[in-house]
Structures are given as C-alpha cells and as structure tokens.
Amino acid sequence: MQVRAARRLSPSFLRVTFTGPDLDRFADNGYDQRIKLVLPLPGRPGVHLPGGVDWYTHWRALPEDERCPLRTYTVRAVRPHLSEVDIDLVLHGDSGPAGRWALRARPGDEAGLLGPDAGYHGDHGGIEFRPPAAGRLLLAGDETAVPAISAILERLPLDARGQVLLEVPDRADVLPVVAPPGVTVDWLARDGGGHGSRLLPAVASAARRLLSRTGGLPAGPNSHVGIDANVDVDADRTPLWEVPTPTAPVPVYAWLAGEAGVIRALRRHLVTERGMDRRAVAFMGYWRLGRVDPA
C-alpha cells in the first residue's frame, strides 16, 4: 500500500491514511482492532515479508539488515469504498524505525499492512475489548492507547455508562472524540511529568467512584491512598497481556493499556486493593519504558 495523506493532529499524534488495491477488502471491525504495520528498510524501496503459515518465525530469523521493521498499531478508521485505512501514530522522536518513518511520511511512500480480511467469516482476532452485557466501564491508558480507546468509544451503545481517562504528553494533545452521553472522558496532560503521574491517581479515584455507585466489592484496607507505582511493576519477566472475557455481568469492567509498568500498577490496584474480579480487568502493556518494541 501507499501513503495517501499524513496529517498532524497534535504535537504527539500523526494520522496516516493508507491506500492500496487490497484495502477494499479490509474488515471494518471497530473497537481496538490490532494490526501490523510493515515499514521499509532504510534506503531500500518497498517492503517484504516471508510468506506461508510460519511467516512470522521466518521473519524473526532474518538478519536485522534484511528484516523490514514490524510494529503493532490500532486501526483508527476504515473506508473500504475508498480503499483507505487510517492509523494514528504517536510521535516520540527519532529514536526508532517507526518514529523515523512517521516523521518523514509523505504521499506515495510505501508500507505494508497485516490486518483482517472481510472475506474471511471466522474470528479475525486482534480485538481485546470484551465487556460483559451490563455494568459500567473504566477505560484508561496513555497516548499509545488513545487511538484504541477513541475507536472503542465510537462503537459503544448509546446507553453505555462509565469513565474514560487518557493521559497524554501535552494539553495540546487533546483530540475530539465521540462518546455516549453516559460516558465521561477526561484528558490528563503530563506537561513534563513522568509516565503515569496523572493516570495512576485518576484511575484510583475513578475506581472508587464507580464501584461505590454500582455496589461493587468493598475497597481493600489500603484503597484510600493512591496507587504506588513502585510496587509490583516488574513487567519484564512475563508478557503483560491478559484479556479475560467475563461470563456474567460485573459491576465494573476495566480496559487498561499503555506503558507496561504503569498498567501493571493499575491492574494490581483494581484487583488487589479494590477487590475487582480479575476476570473483569483487561490489561495490556503496549510498550515498556526504555525498551524497543520487539514486534
């Protein structure tokens, strides 16, 4: 596919519109549909991935200078009738292949996309938002979760109720979102603060309010204090990705995504301190502070 347009939405967000001959068959599944963006190697035209069922294993085995960078993103919008797909990218400097490519993206640039085929009638996978039929929602994340949460909000039923908390680097990064009347959306600008500095206390406060309104489980003995970001935040030992599917209504369903250490602290607070059923807390470490995304 090729870049049709690249539009700066804010200091930290870039929307890239892709077009290509296969994108009329791209499935418009909404929510937090996960896809892979394949980027060209520096100084080389086009993109290439191994074929076959074991393509990913073969891709990992390639020498680094022959392996096109592969990065995970969320679909922001799909327009099959125009053969277009939008992806919102977070700009975080020139430190990695995705950042370098995004800063220089121009119409006509080539890239690859691995995503759901509308012609396949089975489960496409890649959607982690699986709320129960009833209850309130608590959606929280940093800037890397903004595209996913924005897309989720657009697909929620009109009678949905809950709280959304979005931590972004700068107050100029607040973007327009569409949400049901019963869902409150709060943007939390770090303005130079550390990752999680605004999100951690905001989630603690929101959880307390939501659980008290729904008659959820009582808070734990330490729940009157904020979340300790230094407790249980070693996200390097095991993959930080757990997406349960509640089989019965729960008072509050939480969906958390962002920097792995912050997300682990949030999950620990909700389950251990607030007493939420772990089957009602979906949490995903989208990235790790100081580490390169291994794709």
Domain membership flag for residue 127:
no
Domain membership flag for residue 273:
yes
Q: 165 lies in which domain range?
A: 136-215+234-287
Domain membership flag for residue 283:
yes
Examine the domain organization and report whether 59 and 158 are in the same domain: no
Rounded to whole angstroms, how far apart are CA atoms 255 and 250?
13
Q: What is the DSSP string of the chain?
A: -EEEEEEE-SSSEEEEEEE-TTGGGB----TT-EEEEE-PPTT--S-----STTHHHHHHHS-GGGS--EEEEEEEEEEGGGTEEEEEEE---SSSHHHHHHHH--TT-B-EEE--BTT--S----------SSSEEEEEE-GGGHHHHHHHHHHS-TT-EEEEEEEESSGGG-------TEEEEEEEE-TTPPTTTTHHHHHHHHHHHHHHHHT-PPP-TTTTS---TTSS--TTSS--EE----SS--SEEEEEEEEHHHHHHHHHIIIIIS---GGGEEEEEEE-TTS----
pLDDT the model gives residue 294? 55
Is the Cβ–Cβ distance between 17 and 3 less than 8 Å? yes
Examine the domain organization and report whether 211 and 278 are in the same domain: yes
User: Residue 196 pLDDT > 80, yes or no?
Assistant: yes
pLDDT the model gives residue 213? 73
Q: Residue 176's domain is classified under what CATH number?
A: 3.40.50.80
Last residue of a domain, one of 81, 114, 147: 114
Model confidence pLDDT, tens digit, residues 81-100? 999 999 999 998 777 888 88
Domain membership flag for residue 221:
no
Structural domain tally of the chain?
2
Q: Residue 32's domain is classified under what CATH number?
A: 2.40.30.10
Model confidence pLDDT, tens digit, residues 38-61? 999 988 878 988 988 899 999 999
Is the Cβ–Cβ distance between 276 and 220 less than 8 Å? no
Examine the domain organization and report whether 82 and 171 are in the same domain: no
Q: In what order do the strands lie in the sheet with 2-8?
A: 2-8, 13-19, 84-90, 70-79, 34-38, 112-114
Domain membership flag for residue 277:
yes
Examine the domain organization and report whether 80 and 194 are in the same domain: no
Model confidence pLDDT, tens digit, residues 234-255? 444 456 888 888 788 889 999 9
